Amino acid sequence: MRFIAAAPKGETLVQFAFEGALDSFRQAAKDNNFSGKEKELLVHYPGKPTRRAIVAGLGKKEKFTPEKLRRAAAAAAQRARTLALGEISVSLPAGDRAENTQAVVEGIALALYEYKRYKSKDGQPLKLATVRVDGDADAVRRGEVYARATCLTRDLVNEPPSDCTPRRLAEAARSAARRGVSIKVFDEKQIRKMNMGGLLGVAAGSSEPPRFVHMTYRVPRARRTVALVGKGITFDSGGLCIKPADGMLHMKDDMSGAAAVIGVLSALPELRPRVNVHGIFAATENMPGGSAYKTRDVLRAMNGKTMEIINTDAEGRLILSDALSYASRLKPQTIVDMATLTGACVVALGPEISGIFTKDAKLRDGLIDAGRKQGEKIWPLPLDDDYWEMIKSDVADMKNSGGRWGGAITAALFLKEFVDEGISWAHVDIAGPALVESDKPYRPAGGTGVMVRTLLRWLEDQ
């Protein structure tokens, strides 16, 4: 499917209508009980030159946002698919031309995403080959890039865990590293030489060897340097503290943070933000093998700090201890980590909202604003130092779990210990929205690619 910035042409026109603003097709709207409310869709046949019109409702004009347009475009795209159309033209509503163009392109591209690698029958194949958007040409390109990076991340999250091993994830990063992005992949021997005790400890119970990946995007006269760090547990059984069956069912998504890093870095050469970006992730399985790490073991992270193991199912923070230590040595101005880290965050915010922990108000507000523009919800949670008492250890520098209460906060406080002083840092817990079980407007069930578009927007805004 290709997108073209061009005036409407062809038999099918996609339009958008605010509630009550139906003058050009009032009779068709009346005949079909269409009023322009959100989620409403009308297909009518006005005649030449437009034989067919698909109209998506936007709701009240005074409450319009690009996200509502993105969702309406997704609904129109799904109807175009049902009608087996090969080409559509899209006419934008009044407003910010660039923002609206990008929202439409993203909504259509993301709504038509499918993961069909293991489908023996294709069902209804997608015939839609060309989408003409009467909008801003650069915004069409940006929308395509944002959507493509998101879909790459979705593909990785949707892969079965026995296929998407740590080595496969590292190879995916290598494939995504285009001209303008360099990459280093460290094997288990090199990981051991770097004294990454958290990653090695979690990996000990698996027959699959771990990998550590460092992708780098550099641009001349960069305004700043940012490190993006992702959690890459390609399957989480819980280790010796094994999860119940239903709790393990979706644990192929525990590498969503690492997949988001790959997606973001894949897009940077085309977007060319004026920021140097390091993309970093540690990848391993967490399995209950005979050599698995045990409760009350003590692991030493790359920065020398020690961690007493209280629960082997609190493993993500252990591999992030090494990834954040490594990122800190690069001396970036800012580190942002993304991790499907805690069920506690899902209890607090539900399945649609990511939690952000940081003491940097500017960084917090910038990420939340970028998420709002891209339709990804992020909510600030407290990074309260008083909760540090809950992860103090008698035998090590800290415990890897403070227990049930405030679990998302104590996990964030744990991670803070591996970021050097003077570096602005934010932790984003994406445990809720990383994978959904039912279809959303432009998010089919499965991996969502959450944070990819938010981070791309944030990096471009720097």
- Catalytic site positions: 243, 317
Q: Extract the runs of DSSP E, i.e. beta strands, from 265-317.
A: 276-286, 298-300, 306-308
Q: What is the DSSP code string of 192-226?
A: HHTT-HHHHHHHTT-SSPPEEEEEEE--TT-S-EE
Main-chain phi, psi angles of 114, to 5 degrees: -140, 145
Mark out the alpha helices in 39-127 (DSSP H runs): 66-82, 97-111
Give yes or no for a contact between 400 and 317, defined as CB atoms under 8 angstroms apart.
Answer: yes
Query: Cα–Cα distances in Å, from 8 out to 131, 184, 249?
Result: 10, 46, 46
Per the rule left: phi > 0, alpha: psi between -120 and 50, beta: everything else, 36 is left
Cα(29)–Cα(42) distance, integer angstroms: 7
Give yes or no for a contact between 267 and 449, defined as CB atoms under 8 angstroms apart.
Answer: no
Cα(205)–Cα(239) distance, integer angstroms: 7
Q: Extract the runs of DSSP E, i.e. beta strands, from 158-200.
A: 181-186
Cα(408)–Cα(344) distance, integer angstroms: 5
Supply the DSSP symbol for 81.
H
Amino acid at position 44, single letter: H
Quick one: CA torsion of 382, 383, 387, 392, rounded to 10 degrees? 160
Q: What is the DSSP code string of 87-104?
A: EEEE-PPSS-HHHHHHHH
* β-bridge mates for residue 185, sequence order: 213
Cα(152)–Cα(447) distance, integer angstroms: 10
Which sign, positive or negative, has the C-alpha torsion 402, 404, 407, 411?
A: positive
